[in-house]
Amino acid sequence: MTFGDYQNEIYLRGLAGIVPSMPMAFAEWEATAQAALPPSVWSYVAGGAGDEHTQRANADAFKRWGVVPRRFVGATERDLSVELFGMTLPAPVFMAPIGVIGLCAQDGHGDLATARAAARTGVPMVSSTLSVDPMELVAAEFGDTPGLFQLYTPSDRELAASLVHRAQAAGYAGYKGIVVTLDSWVTGWRPRDLSIANVPQLRGHCLSNYTSDPVFRASLALPPEEDLGGAVLRFMQIFGNPLTWDDLNWLRSLTSLPLIVKGICHPEDARRAIHRGRQANGGLPAVDALPAIVEAAGGVPVLFDSGIRSGADIVKALALGATAVGIGRPYAYGLALGGVDGIVHVLRALLAETDLIMAVDGYPTLADLVPEALLPVM
């Protein structure tokens, strides 16, 4: 079977009068999720910094590229598999970290639902530091699909070390890499959240990796179960940490797992790191920075996760040099509209479109998706 066979499943069920219960495209996923989520969660997931110009530009930038069709290449079979940090993945996609994904599920355990969707699809999850359930419980749901752990590095180095060590020790499939976030060590100016005076973490949500950590608990006067406010205050004190290059060296010393730095948009930073508009407005679209980052990386894998809304976007990001592409809001919206099944549907839809574009346009393998496969669209 190919990823594109998902459409055949849908059409064949239609012959029996069964039409899909979930929508097929991003705009509908977004609209349905907005109706399903409480305003406090919706604003956090859908919103961005400032007037959200850069957030929109991240998505709109893909429209400036068109895929060049090739003919007589016999793309009957497509191979989307990729080797990444010692993992063999069925497709070059992953679920990007979303700090409040836990709150997007009807039962309030969206991190577990996302991990279960990873197990069903083979699409890895990057589990956030800011989760409803502890990282160990999330990893236990991965099945045979490996995952990655995203680290918001706290200013308390002992706590940071504890989080990294816990991730390395977790589970059977477990975490196969640490994703260090650089681009949101402090919350950006986010009018949607400001207008309702709400940040979920300050209300005690999505802090289980802290409240379950022995180092964090030891720093509290009272256990979180007795004084949640005290735990939140401690979280606020240690969350913000603007990392330096020396910190990267220290983080590298904590683990033997691959260390992946998130938020690199300048070629010089990419070159130095080797041995996305949600939090900052006014920047350039991330996909415009991608080719230069890929060149600077010199063969080191480059993961891209900004503005992906469709299979066409995935194809274009791969052609511009991304090794793997992160899905963000689409799977969050899928979770809101249908739980585990909703995420699986969104991932299968995106992969089906990716696969079918490669089939129709004559690109049978990922190696065929090179920059020359694209032309600017005026």
SS3 state at 25:
coil
**Six-digit token string for 253:** 């010393």
Contact 358, 78 (CB under 8 A): yes
Give the residue numbers marked as catalytic. 275
Contact 3, 354 (CB under 8 A): yes
Which residues make Cβ contacts (< 8 Å) with residue 186, sequence separation at least 6?
Answer: 240, 242
> Closest Cα to residue 126, out of 325, 314, 335, 283?
325
SS3 state at 16:
coil
Q: Hey, how many other C-beta atoms are within 10 angstroms of the C-beta on 158?
A: 11
Residues listed for the chain: 378
Cα distances (Å, whole numbers) of residue 360 to 64, 130, 357: 20, 40, 5
In eight-state DSSP terms, residue 371 is: G
**Six-digit token string for 222:** 């009272």
Contact 151, 175 (CB under 8 A): no
Q: Which helix (H) or strand (E) holds 208?
A: helix 208-211
With both helix axes pointing from N to C terminus, report the angle between 157-169 and 245-254 in degrees, rounded to the nearest 10: 40
